[in-house]
Amino acid sequence: MTPLDVASNHMNKNALVALIAVVLVIIGAVLISWTVKNRQLSTGKVTQNQPEMSPLPGSEALKTRPQVSISTSKGDFTIELRPDIAPKTVANFLSKFSLGYCNNLTWHRVEDWVVQGCDPAGNGTGGLSNLTTETSGEPFVAGSVGVARQASPKEISNDSQFFIVKTDSTFLNGEYTYFGKVIAGLDTVNKLAIGDKIISTLILSK
């Protein structure tokens, strides 16, 4: 056998070893991938139905425009809620109104253009900031009912303090949650003074 033949055989052996090594690497990668994939699968069906969530209190009224009568130290007024544009907000306040959450709380802010109340702290600092701000194209005209929030973050509103504008307030458009309007008794709203109380809230229709 010539030196050339020896060299050729050596090269062939090296090529065969390299080929076997490549095949083993590929087989190993496939096995690892299969093992990892099977570890990620949960037991039972891969596609499972999401568990049913309990409805929010008052959510049974969200397909209509509920009306709520609010009795105050200066008289009564009625608001009509808008679940079609602020469903989470309406569900939240329907729950509070039905439970009497606002009863005996005051109108702590009264200005020539707005009144604001239902703050458990009574000074504009109470309530939880955990309600999603639901902006819409509905304009804030006289009688519109909205939700208080801090300047930032705009995406989160207060869960108890609501306000009613006494004059057209277009600067609020698209910035605050609009969730209803006074449909009767706006003159009562205009009479409110700081410290006047919310005596009771009554859901008239769902």
- 32-80 tens-digit pLDDT: 444 333 332 222 222 222 233 334 444 444 568 999 999 999 999 999 9
Sorting pLDDT into bands at 50, 70 and 90, what band is 3? very low
Q: 10 Å Cβ neighbour count for 64?
A: 13
Cα→Cα distances 26→12, 13, 30, 32, 33, Å: 21, 20, 6, 10, 11
Portion of the chain with pLDDT greater than 90, in percent: 67
Give the model's pLDDT for residue 59: 42
At residue 191, φ and ψ (nearest 5 deg) are -90, -15
Q: What is the pLDDT of residues 138-177, one digit of tens each?
A: 999 999 999 999 999 999 999 999 999 999 999 999 999 9
Average pLDDT, the chain: 80
Which pair of tokens denotes residue 205? Answer: 């229709």
CB atoms within 10 A of CB 157: 29
